[in-house]
Structure 1
Amino acid sequence: MAARDDLTVRLYGFNRLPLSPKIRAAVPGERDLRGFVLAGTPGLSEHWRSRRLERRAGWLSWIRRDGTSRTPTVAHKLYISPMPEAVGDAVRVLTPLVTDSPCVAFKLGATPSFLARPDKLVAYFRGRNEMLDVARLAAERLDGIPAHGVPFTFPLDSAGLVSSGVDPPYDADRLTSWRLWLCTELARAILAADGGDALAAARSRLVALGIDPDTWQAPLDPWGTHGPG
């Protein structure tokens, strides 16, 4: 179990940027980042309110002020992955798009280490088509912003800036996410190869789960047949 957990963490952290002085200087602290986002993003405080639980975990997170942000049974996730220096531009573009959509929540890394993650800006939707509509607009309006890229997600543009995933059904006793679940499955398959062809074992496991091993695209209903574990 320890070996699997260690490999899962290593896979999950793939493509995370080193905490360079440039990144640390760009994010002096959560309070400054929050003020920067609020000041530069019209409509954010009017339509969205901060969710404090997420803030303690390294995120600035927002839910709708109108009370419609109930936890979806299955969350379709839209990842926006700019390089850290372009986060402000990405938030200012994304906020009006999610406000005018059925998006139920979105979050932004609030510390240097969280902005060094590839999955630093994430929006949540109940439906796949709702998510794809916003993804298309985001890809158009963010064109030219330097991309970071989120591993183990399905790319929705050519630059690696916009991608998607599908969280497992919500379970308060067993919280996980699309990438964490997928990295756990890959770690299990690689270790089970026991010195054999680990890549072939990982690809076979993805196919068994209904996931395209070349694009990371999930089936339309990934949790109807397959589930975590």
Structure 2
Amino acid sequence: MQSHFRANPGYEIVLFDRLPETYRAQLASLQTDPDCYGVLWPRVPGLVAKAVDRETALLFFTMQQPGPIPTYVRSSFGERCNQVIAELVLDGVLEIAQEPDGEFVTGAVAHPLIFEARTPASAGGRVARLSLDAIEYGQALAIESSAELSARLYTYNMIPASPAWHKLIPTSDAVLGFLRIDAEGRNRRVLDRWYTHQSSNQNGTGWRIWHLRRGLEPHRETWRPAYKLYISPRPETLPEILDAIVGELGAAKVASFKIGQDLFGLLRPDKVVAYCAEFDELATLAARLQKTLAGCPAQGVPFTAGIDPAGLLSWGTDPPREIQEFAGLEQESWRLWVTNHLAVALLASKAQSAAIRPCKFALERLRLDGVDTETWTPRQAIWQSERRG
């Protein structure tokens, strides 16, 4: 990029120990991260605070004087320099001049200066269509909190918990009877090769998790990141097909799988998730399940990579902890990582009077983060990129 840039004058950098006590307590986990320098603190309304690393802080200080990107920055980031600068402009950290000696702009307003206009590709398959519908839905919501907006995106296409569903599954224990995996259930025997436990995260999302019993799992020379196979039938069909699903998972010697542990867990789109160590393993298992579950009504999991046209099967892979903004934050799943990024971009775009629609800006911003937003797959480089603020 040969344009002129400057640090956004709407921000100032504040070190952690100079923040108000309330904010220091909220960001306590970040203070132990050696990469984290401080916080970009808003000087004007409409901006949000951003934690920044040392490289971003140095660049922000350097660009107090408008001008081209310094040589040291290009040397430091190498071939990733243009991408990094584009991200900082779209995120409101830097501003770009519209023309030499022209007005400086940032965020969604700067989008035309960063990207060439292009026609978006049509969604391929039902899962991709659900993902785009979810973003349109998020754009229409009058929500100012990125966490709340991310949660709404994440739960998109969840089936409402109607009185009929509450009557059918009134408690978490009733899930066992509904799925026919209680002591007398016909699906119980197929689970004999697994042992189970329950788990929940800080958001209260609970899972019933099964692991292969010791000695049955295939030997692994080294650990590798898990690929997630999402199995998304309509919830009312799950009791009839669960034995077939678990049978295929057992035949493939999948190390573990999980099912939502209560009513809301069964109504969510990603109600059944299997973990595979290799993508080839996932692909083979998916092919077998497509045949076994042929004709099964699908619900569909937004923000995953569709495998079949109906959306019964899709996949994703959780980002390693190293690519998170800072190590002090809770580990994010693939879908949560995506919806968190989309929510921030949607709100940033809606806060400005830009020519680009917020949903398109959010897609472009996510694409810059390394996600193919036509197939909803992560590009290989996404897990290898350096962390930034």
**TM, length-normalised to structure 2:** 0.53
Match of 2:171 in 1: 29
Larger CA deviation: 80-89 vs 204-213: 204-213
Find the residue that maps to 2:245 and give its secondary structure.
helix
Give 5+ residue unaligned stretches, structure 2: 1-47, 49-143
Compute the displacement of 1:28 (Å). 4.0
Q: Deviations over 1:49-68 (max 9, x none)?
A: 00233598532210111165
Q: Is the 8 A contact 2:198 2:206 kept in 1?
A: no
Find the residue that maps to 2:199 and give its secondary structure.
helix
Larger CA deviation: 141-150 vs 162-171: 162-171
Q: 1:59 to 1:80 in 2, by over 3 A?
A: same
Q: Partners of 1:109 and 1:176 in 2: how far apart?
A: 18
Q: Is the 8 A contact 2:321 2:331 kept in 1?
A: yes
Match of 2:112 in 1: none
Q: Is the 8 A contact 2:190 2:243 kept in 1?
A: no
Q: 1:163 to 1:201 in 2, by over 3 A?
A: same
Say whether residues 1:186 and 2:328 are aligned partners. no
Q: Is the 8 A contact 1:78 1:165 kept in 2?
A: yes
Match of 2:146 in 1: 4
Q: 1:226 to 1:108 in 2, by over 3 A?
A: farther
Q: 1:114 to 1:48 in 2, by over 3 A?
A: same
Say whether residues 1:225 and 2:385 are aligned partners. yes
Match of 2:91 in 1: none
Q: 1:43 to 1:89 in 2, by over 3 A?
A: same
Could you say which structure has the larger radius of gyration? 2
Compute the displacement of 1:5 (Å). 0.9
Q: Partners of 2:161 and 2:311 in 1: how far apart?
A: 21
Say whether residues 1:20 and 2:180 are aligned partners. no
Q: Deviations over 1:108-131 (max 9, x none)?
A: 112111111111111111111111
Match of 2:317 in 1: 166
Compute the displacement of 1:134 (Å). 0.8
Q: Is the 8 A contact 1:102 1:130 kept in 2?
A: no
Q: Partners of 2:306 and 2:251 in 1: how far apart?
A: 23
Q: Deviations over 1:176-227 (max 9, x none)?
A: 1010000001112112213432122112123213322222122356413377
Which structure ranks higher in relative contact order (CA pairs < 8 Å, sequence separation ≥ 6)?
1
Compute the displacement of 1:165 (Å). 0.8
Compute the displacement of 1:75 (Å). 2.0
Q: Partners of 2:277 and 2:387 in 1: how far apart?
A: 18
Match of 2:225 in 1: 74
Match of 2:333 in 1: 177
Q: Partners of 1:110 and 1:209 in 2: how far apart?
A: 33
Q: 1:187 to 1:115 in 2, by over 3 A?
A: same
Aligned residues: 228
Superposition RMSD in Å:
2.8
Q: Partners of 1:118 and 1:180 in 2: how far apart?
A: 14
Find the residue that maps to 1:108 and give its secondary structure.
strand
Compute the displacement of 1:145 (Å). 1.3
Q: Is the 8 A contact 1:43 1:96 kept in 2?
A: no
Q: Partners of 1:160 and 1:184 in 2: how far apart?
A: 23
Q: Partners of 1:26 and 1:143 in 2: how far apart?
A: 26
Q: Partners of 2:338 and 2:388 in 1: how far apart?
A: 9
Q: Is the 8 A contact 1:181 1:228 kept in 2?
A: no
Specify which of 368, 371, 383 is matched with residue 211 of structure 1. Answer: 371
Q: 1:94 to 1:227 in 2, by over 3 A?
A: farther
Specify which of 242, 249, 254 is matched with residue 91 of structure 1. Answer: 242
Say whether residues 1:63 and 2:219 are aligned partners. no
**Could you tell me which amino acid in structure 2 is paired with residue 119 of structure 1?**
D
Give 5+ residue unaligned stretches, structure 1: none
Compute the displacement of 1:41 (Å). 2.8
Match of 1:53 in 2: 199
Match of 1:147 in 2: 298
Q: Is the 8 A contact 2:199 2:206 kept in 1?
A: no
Say whether residues 1:113 and 2:257 are aligned partners. no
Larger CA deviation: 79-88 vs 93-102: 93-102
Q: Deviations over 1:91-144 (max 9, x none)?
A: 212111111224221111121111111111111111111111111111221111
**Could you tell me which amino acid in structure 2 is paired with residue 142 of structure 1?**
L
